[in-house]
Amino acid sequence: MPAITPQIRKKVLALFDAGRHRNDIARELGISGPTVTRICRAEGRQFDRAAEALELRAEQVDLEKLRERVAKKMLIVADDTLNDLEAPHLVYNFGGRDNTYQEHLLDEAPLDAKLNAMRTASLAFDKATRIVEKSDTGLDQAVGVLDSLAIGFELAAAQIRAEDASDTGPDAS
């Protein structure tokens, strides 16, 4: 991990001011997330964890939708591949010494083509099923809601502590 130079501190603050998230800043600069937090806190800046949690949850929802679209495409590939087995199958050969081309239309796919198609369809179906099984549990949504609530409680508690500290400080009468 690099030493924290004044230039790195300046970059951290500039990225913070540009609205970047703590972990993004840490990754970009090759420093730890807690180091980013300490630098920002020392300059009176604080990350909005609730907003970050909501943005993270939105990103997770987007990824879930993408997984579902990919699963659907995989099932379509599996279905199309299996349907192709029932159609006439063109076999061909080209090249050779005389650089010729020959083709022949078979009533159905040859055995090696059927085996390849079955492997492809089976793999696509298996992967799509695993994607769908993962997303149908609702567990991710429940965890996301609980995480959001926990962050909200944490922020509320921090605010109450700060208010209590300011009420009992040396200037309080």
The enclosing H or E element of 11 equals helix 6-17
**Other beta carbons within 10 Å of 128:** 21
Q: In this structure, what token pair is assigned to residue 37?
A: 């937090």
**What pLDDT sits at residue 42?**
94
Query: Architecture of domain 1-47 in CATH?
Result: Orthogonal Bundle (1.10)
Give residue 64's pLDDT.
Answer: 83
Number of H helices, E strands in the chain: 6, 2
Q: Count CB-CB contacts under 10 A for residue 136.
A: 9
pLDDT on residue 17 = 93
Residue in this structure with the two tokens 């993408």, named with its chain if needed: 66
Domain boundaries along the sequence of the chain: 1-47, 48-167
> Which pLDDT value is given to residue 15?
94
Q: What is the mean pLDDT of each run of 10 residues along the chain (173 residues)?
A: 85 93 89 91 86 77 84 83 83 86 88 83 79 61 58 66 66 51
Pairing of strands 100-106, 89-95: antiparallel
